[in-house]
Amino acid sequence: MLPRLLQGPLAAAPLPLPCRLAVARGIRAMSSAAPAPEPAQRSRRPLRGVVFDMDGTLTVPVIDFQAMYREVLGGDAAYAAARAAGGGSVDILHCIEGWAPDKQRHAYEVIARFEKEGLDRLQIMPGASELCGFLDSKRIRRGLITRNVKDAVDLFHQRFGMMFAPALSREFRPYKPDPAPLLHICSTWNIPPHEVIMVGDSLKDDVVCGKRAGAFTCLLDETGRYGPHDSLPEEVKPDFKVSSLTEVFTMLEENFDLAPANLTPASAESRI
């Protein structure tokens, strides 16, 4: 049956048969040429970049941070006081920023020693290589932000052959959880933050950095230490929560439009 094209008094006068057939052919042609997208497709948001944390996200956590913090701060009592002041967590880099130069230099030497020991045991996180290959196949850009040193980032690139650009270490100031490094990466890519997702294993560093920048956020919680997703405070609650990098595949495909997009000249220059 042909659709009613006219309503009211004019509807009583039917179109001639040739006209009706032409209208029907036109409607069928439009329907077959441009089918309406499914509701799920319409709701998916474009994703053009993924920014990763390194330690504990792209690499298996090997640094004993609690032991490092105790040595830097001067023992169990000082460490407990710092935890209490930080609401249960310690931002060691923030703690030592205001120290005297000699004390600060010693603290950085301790941190560097622990990080060096960690580099000797550096291991890639299961699923990291496959995830990067998947993103490359979709022409989705990959960046990295870490509070570790540049030497650690360079070794990571060399050892595992996985390149991230830009890859920002703690030499870039201000570092996470300030949004500056993530905003810098978005600017370099010429991609708005709302088309980027930050993936990391720290609520206070990675998720807060992403939220402040206006990006999507995904918390990697391998051990379940943060509890159920719905139980997290709103100010640090990520958009997504996974227990492994392999779950990121499904999360991205179910929630984002991953159709390859043409790269702008500015973003193409920094792609590796």
pLDDT-derived band at 29 (thresholds 50, 70, 90) equals very low
- Give the contacts of 177 (CB within 8 A, at least 6 positions apart): 204, 205, 206, 208, 209, 212
Least Cα distance to 224 among 205, 201, 207, 247 occurs for: 201
For residue 240, the Cα-to-chain-centroid distance in whole angstroms is 10
Q: Give 127: exposed, middle or buried? Use CB within 10 Å, 0-12, 13-18, 19+.
A: middle
The pLDDT, as a whole number, for residue 205 is 96
pLDDT higher than threshold 70 for residue 32: no
Per-residue pLDDT tens digits for 193-206? 999 999 999 999 99
pLDDT-derived band at 186 (thresholds 50, 70, 90) equals very high
The residues annotated with a catalytic role in the active site are 53, 55
Give the C-alpha separation, 6 to 97, whole Å.
75
The pLDDT, as a whole number, for residue 119 is 81
Give the C-alpha separation, 24 to 33, whole Å.
14
Per-residue pLDDT tens digits for 40-89? 444 789 999 999 999 999 999 888 889 999 999 999 999 999 888 887 88
> Mean per-residue pLDDT for 140-156?
95
For the chain, what are the domain ranges? Answer: 45-60+123-257, 63-121
pTM confidence score:
0.76
The pLDDT, as a whole number, for residue 262 is 56
Contact 270, 189 (CB under 8 A): yes
Which residue matches tokens 């060096």? Answer: 116
The pLDDT, as a whole number, for residue 98 is 87
The pLDDT, as a whole number, for residue 223 is 95
Give the C-alpha separation, 269 to 246, whole Å.
29
Out of 3.30.565.10, 3.30.930.10, 3.40.50.1000, 1.10.132.20, the CATH code matching 45-60+123-257 is 3.40.50.1000
